[in-house]
Amino acid sequence: MKADRLLSILLLLQTRDRVTATELAERLEVSARTVYRDVEALSAAGVPVYAERGRHGGFALLPGFRTDVTGLTADESRALFVLAAQGAHSALGLDSALASALRKVMVALPAPHRPAAELTRRRILVDPDRWMSGPRGDVELDVLHAAVLSDRRLRIRYRHSGGTEQRRYTVDPYGLVAKAGVWYLVADRRGRPRLFRADRILAATATDAPVRRREGVELADLWSELRAEVEHRLTGVRVRARVRRERLDMFVRIVGGFLTGPPDDTGGPGWAGVELDYPVLAAVRHLLQFGAHVEVLHPAPARAELRRAAEEVAVMYRDG
């Protein structure tokens, strides 16, 4: 829209001392001729914009035509631009809105804070995804987002982890949470808190019925409760193992969620000792991916489980 384009030009001119028609055209993805027409429209509207010819020319605003919003410190200004780099806005379809908002914030900052904020934007990058996280399924957040903001109940079709059956639920959403690049719907089902991974929600429909949230319960509190449940589930098997030192960093990075504490020096020369908690005995097969770089020391049933798994794999590849 032309109004949005005019505002973008005005904000860019307030942020910079001088901007060429070519740069404005590239940033706004329009022709230089359109830029000239837009600048004429700004001038006709009373904006004191003028053009300077020559090699270092361009469009500029008369000195003093700026607005400052006081109260933001230098640290607060930098924090805004670091926060904006986290990327959760992309899944919500807010990329263009964020870019526009940052331009407005930059203009509104007190002049002494602008260089630090701009430097932070260019020098600090936050990537919320884990290394080698693998491909993720498509996530349609539009309906979930709308239901959360409009306080409507949701009907969802959901597939639980490890299962193929699709279940249908009516839930009362509290909000959406992005954790390590994965989106979750936090909601009550029959008055009890539940966590639904967004990429396993196969369909969602907002109902006409208003949401039924428990009084005094906020999203942040509910998320803290659910996260604690996930991270501190009752463990079924305590495993003692040793890891070759040259593979220790990779081991901790991959299985860190099962470690009960930091590695120690009890593994012997060239090895580190570790202790892990697994929910069920079969889960120790998780360690086979490290081959001979990890050895389970005890309990005996865990060693036997790994031996059975190794024998099954050997049989599968016997004819190869």
pLDDT at residue 320 is higher than 90: no
Closest by CA to 225, choosing from 193, 187, 191, 182, is 193
pLDDT digits 0-9 by tens, 161-194: 878 889 999 999 999 988 877 889 999 999 899 9
CATH 3.30.70 in the chain: give the residue spans: 237-316
**CB-based contact 193:225 (threshold 8 Å):** yes
**CB-based contact 278:308 (threshold 8 Å):** no
Percentage of the chain modeled with pLDDT above 70: 82
Question: Cα–Cα distance between 77 and 118 in angstroms, integer?
Answer: 9
Average pLDDT of the chain, as a whole number: 83
pLDDT the model gives residue 235: 61
Question: Cα–Cα distance between 275 and 14 in angstroms, integer?
Answer: 58
CATH 1.10.10.10 in the chain: give the residue spans: 2-61
CATH number of the 237-316 domain: 3.30.70
pLDDT the model gives residue 83: 58
pLDDT digits 0-9 by tens, 118-150: 777 777 766 767 776 666 666 678 888 888 888
**CB-based contact 127:178 (threshold 8 Å):** no
> Stretch 243-261: mean pLDDT, rounded?
91
Mention the CATH class of domain 2-61. Answer: mainly alpha
pLDDT at residue 285 is higher than 70: yes
pLDDT digits 0-9 by tens, 34-66: 988 888 888 887 888 888 887 777 888 887 775
The token pair that represents 237 in the structure block: 């098997």
CATH number of the 142-231 domain: 2.30.30
> Stretch 211-225: mean pLDDT, rounded?
89
CATH 2.30.30 in the chain: give the residue spans: 142-231
Confidence tier at 69 by pLDDT (50, 70, 90): very low
C-alpha distances (whole Å) from 307 to each of 197, 299, 311 are: 34, 13, 6
> Stretch 96-102: mean pLDDT, rounded?
72
**Cα three-residue angle 290-294-296, rounded to 5 degrees:** 125
**CB-based contact 10:42 (threshold 8 Å):** yes
User: Model-level pTM?
Assistant: 0.59
Phi, psi of 110 (to 5 degrees): -55, 140
